[in-house]
Amino acid sequence: MRAVVCSNADLEVVERPEPVPRHGQVRIKVLRCGICGSDLHARHGIDAWADIAARAGYDRLARSADELVLGHEFCGEVAEHGPGCRRGSPAGTPVVALPLLRGAHGVDTTGLSVHAPGAYAEQTLVEESLMMPVPNGLAPETAALTEPMAVAWHAVRRGEVGRRTVAIVIGCGPIGLAVILLLKAKGVRAVVASDYSPARRALASACGADVVLDPAHGSPYTAVRRRGHLEDIPAALELAVGTREKLERLPFGWWHAWRLGEALGAAPRHPVIFECVGMPGVIDSIIDGAPLFSRVVVVGVCVGVDRITPAMAINKEIDLRFVLGYTPLEFRDTLQMLADGDVDPSPLITGTVGLDGVETAFTMLGNPETHAKILIDPQSTAVSPAPA
């Protein structure tokens, strides 16, 4: 079969043997595979990433000199069952799967480890237990977005965003856009999106963001003033003392009323801010600009060392959360949302290439003005991203 191999930052289309499914695994024919921002990063910076993963106990992420087949956002068609499969989905069934593969040494990350070659190829392997049939005749290009949309769904869930919460999305690349789509699908009324790129801002609008702005010309945090957020320390002190003064007028102990208020969920109103950039300095700029008590969900992956000012985060009691991946349930629910039409990710897809066009697609994805998500169709001969 044909596959794109990444080694020492070179991308090359090569012939490789068809993968053989082991116990409980299924070989699938790849229909579409998304090019992820982390693939672009892996091409040049996977060693730093592999070092960090090893420190967290996973030492089988690929190294730059390895021959790695990337691709973890895919949709395929069942081709062959390995031994011990339950065979719930017969050959030819369109499927998606979590990009994890059980090997001799444990579970590996598909498309980021040489032990689990990814879907920049005509064929790849999946675990039958992590494979799900694509419902409702959903198109493969949409189904292939289940994985990145599940990342965004996990982030939105970790943000504990209510419909009346103001959500602010910093960075409108594919993940920021996916977060916007899922916030709107969840019924969040006020979604603010911020990006320096005019093309990305246009996509944010297409994905349903209510307020879209250029951070060079306005602050995403002042765009949500007069929502009852506490802008500064005097406002927080005023709230504490003022509330205490009001409760003083009650004929019973003020602490009973305060405790009841807390039990009913009364708390200072605050936005939830999604960091979807992943560059040094972004988290600190959010801490600096955000209203008090803001919750910050870090989705963008900054692999290098970054600096923050803890005292500023303390002054504002910023709630900083980091997110990774999704659960199998979140993946399944995301697929169902796509199949039910609750969320339409089509604005994200800006082009499709064949395996021979992957190198060009990587180059073009470096410019936010031209593309957001490019899909690979291994059967296509397109060497430059054609409109989807």
Which residues sit at the interface with Zn ion, rule CB under 5 A? 36, 38
- Least separation in angstroms between CB 99 and Zn ion: 8
- Cβ proximity to Zn ion: between 36 and 297 the closer is 36
- Least separation in angstroms between CB 277 and Zn ion: 15
- Cβ proximity to Zn ion: between 150 and 223 the closer is 150
- Cβ proximity to Zn ion: between 291 and 347 the closer is 347
- Cβ proximity to Zn ion: between 21 and 171 the closer is 171
DSSP conformation class of 378: T
Residue nearest to Zn ion (CB): 36
Looking at residue 5, its amino acid is V
- Least separation in angstroms between CB 375 and Zn ion: 13
- Cβ proximity to Zn ion: between 36 and 282 the closer is 36
Please choose, from the candidates 187, 132, 190, the residue with its C-alpha nearest in 3D space to the C-alpha of residue 165: 190
State how far the Cα of 15 lies from the Cα of 17, in Å rounded to an integer: 7
- Cβ proximity to Zn ion: between 74 and 221 the closer is 74
The torsion angles phi and psi of 212, rounded to 5 degrees, stand at: -125, 130
State how far the Cα of 5 lies from the Cα of 156, in Å rounded to an integer: 34
State how far the Cα of 310 lies from the Cα of 313, in Å rounded to an integer: 5
Count CB neighbours of 48 within 10 A: 13
State how far the Cα of 21 lies from the Cα of 25, in Å rounded to an integer: 5
Structural tokens at position 195 = 């990006």
- Across 351-364, b (16+ Cβ under 10 Å) vs e yields bbbbbebbbbbbeb
- Least separation in angstroms between CB 150 and Zn ion: 10
- Least separation in angstroms between CB 200 and Zn ion: 18
- Cβ proximity to Zn ion: between 207 and 290 the closer is 207
| Beta-bridge mates of residue 295 | 272, 319
Helix (H, G, I), strand (E, B) or coil at 296: strand
- Least separation in angstroms between CB 238 and Zn ion: 44
- Least separation in angstroms between CB 62 and Zn ion: 15
User: CA distances (Å), 382 to each of 14, 29, 350, 374, in order?
Assistant: 17, 19, 14, 12
